Amino acid sequence: MAGVFTLGIATLDYVYSVETMPTRGEKYRSRDLAVVGGGCAGNASVAIARLGGRCWLATRLADDLTGDQIVADLEREGVDASLSLRAPGLRSPVSAILVDAAGERMVVSYSDPTMPEETGWLPRALPDGTDAVLTDTRWGAGALAALGLARAAGIPGVLDGDRRPPHPDLVATASHVAFSAQALQEVSGEDDPRLGLAKIAQGVETWLAVTLGKEGVLFVENGEVAHCPAFAIAAVDTLGAGDVWHGAFALALAEGQGEREAIRFASATAAIKCTRFGGRAGTPTRDEVERFLAGAPAL
């Protein structure tokens, strides 16, 4: 069983299903509701566990009822959250999310601005059995520390670049970075993701990619920008798809898969998730992904 140490944000999400997104200040009725754990690292860690990996999560939570619910949900999924911070007197992260009939989402999130930034409580060594590290961009100092441990151990250190990295050394310290389209545009200054990826790749040894939803994944291979198309699916809920993709990608690297194989595995995992409502509740198991891939054309 491959192991992945994850670090980043975990939240409690209130996910509402609506026909269309609100356009003005009035009352709207939700067709469905899911109250489920969320957050980049939280979703990724659950994906790793459901896909058969061992996972540890270090996240910053408050010592409140919301934090208790977040931890309990993670533990039910088989994620070891014992390395997390529980700060007294603060508030744990929450989000209110609307998902429309096309599967697109609108997110309003809250994270306590007084949450400690210091990293002294983090473990000084990775847990035994760690084969890869995955971080997000929500806590730059923590992400840098975790990626540094991965580099020192000689294992993959993956950065989920869904937002502009808050620390200038994050990209260079990671072994693998997969940006969102928006984050890549902000970092590179290029509207064309191919140009942006090629620009960022100049002078760095880090493996780079950008996830583009239904347009697939662009990645740098042998100095050139390559493309892996997405699987064709009817999207119901895209919430958490990028987080699940990164969790599956990190696990695949931890298992020794190459980058192309890892992209295909991660893309299949995210595609299945998008066919189900409820954020990370729709994350598939390993058997579901393998059956999906067995019946899918090669990418």
| 167 CB burial (10 A radius; 0-12, 13-18, 19+) | middle
Rg of the chain over Cα atoms, rounded to whole angstroms, equals 18
Q: Say what the pLDDT of residue 151 is.
A: 97
Say which CATH topology domain 3-20+32-111+128-294 has.
Answer: UDP-N-acetylmuramoyl-L-alanine:D-glutamate ligase (3.40.1190)
pTM of the model: 0.94
**Token pair belonging to 72:** 């309990």
Domain boundaries of the chain, sorted by first residue: 3-20+32-111+128-294
Q: Say what the pLDDT of residue 118 is.
A: 96
Q: Say what the pLDDT of residue 103 is.
A: 86
Backbone angles phi, psi at 67, to 5 degrees: -60, -40
Q: Say what the pLDDT of residue 104 is.
A: 86
Q: Say what the pLDDT of residue 299 is.
A: 64
Q: Say what the pLDDT of residue 105 is.
A: 87
pLDDT tens sequence for the chain (299 residues) = 999 999 999 999 999 999 999 999 999 999 999 999 999 999 999 999 999 999 999 999 999 999 999 999 999 999 999 999 999 999 999 999 999 998 888 999 999 999 999 999 999 999 999 999 999 999 999 999 999 999 999 999 999 999 999 998 999 999 999 999 999 999 999 999 999 999 999 989 999 999 999 999 999 999 999 999 999 999 998 889 999 999 999 999 999 999 999 999 999 999 999 999 888 999 999 999 999 999 887 76
